[in-house]
Amino acid sequence: MDLHDYNKLLDRAYEKIPENAKQSSRFEIPTVQLRIESKNTFITNFNKIINTLNRDARHFLGIFLKTAGTMGEIRGQQLFLKGIYKEQVLNRLIESYTKAYVLCDVCNKPDTQIQREAKKLFLKCGACGARRVIKEK
């Protein structure tokens, strides 16, 4: 196959992508789905949320539980929280984690990585290359 054919093939493949996928798709975190059981809360779609955030679950939990002011642990696909929590409260906590530890504050994309360097944590953006210091906890 010569280069010309290859390019044509690429063009054709690109045409098959639905229109809305070509635009930079907005980053959306799944909202929490809860199950309350004997005064405790389970986030039943936690696995989906942490996969979307693309962060280490331990890092997330360290901050999330501290700001929620409770204890909790991962149980299978779910996150167990001691106490009863409202959906909006948990969504807001996840959102603030996302702003602080996931989204690039220059281009607002979630294609970032947390890097440790010289005892500091950085959020490095794979989309625009920006880097900023983030707080440990």
Residues at the contact surface with Zn ion, assessed by CB under 5 A: 104, 106-107, 125, 127-128, 130
In this structure, are residues 29 and 98 in contact, taking their beta carbons and an 8 Å threshold?
Answer: yes
Residue ranges in 2-137 assigned as alpha helix (H): 3-16, 19-22, 46-53, 57-68, 87-101
Distances (CA, A) of 137 to 42, 48, 61, 66: 23, 23, 10, 9
Considering beta carbons, is residue 72 or 110 the nearer one to Zn ion?
Answer: 110
Considering beta carbons, is residue 107 or 121 the nearer one to Zn ion?
Answer: 107
Output the smallest distance, CB 25 to Zn ion, in A.
Answer: 16
Beta bridge partners of 133: 122
Output the smallest distance, CB 68 to Zn ion, in A.
Answer: 28
Output the smallest distance, CB 67 to Zn ion, in A.
Answer: 24
Considering beta carbons, is residue 71 or 128 the nearer one to Zn ion?
Answer: 128
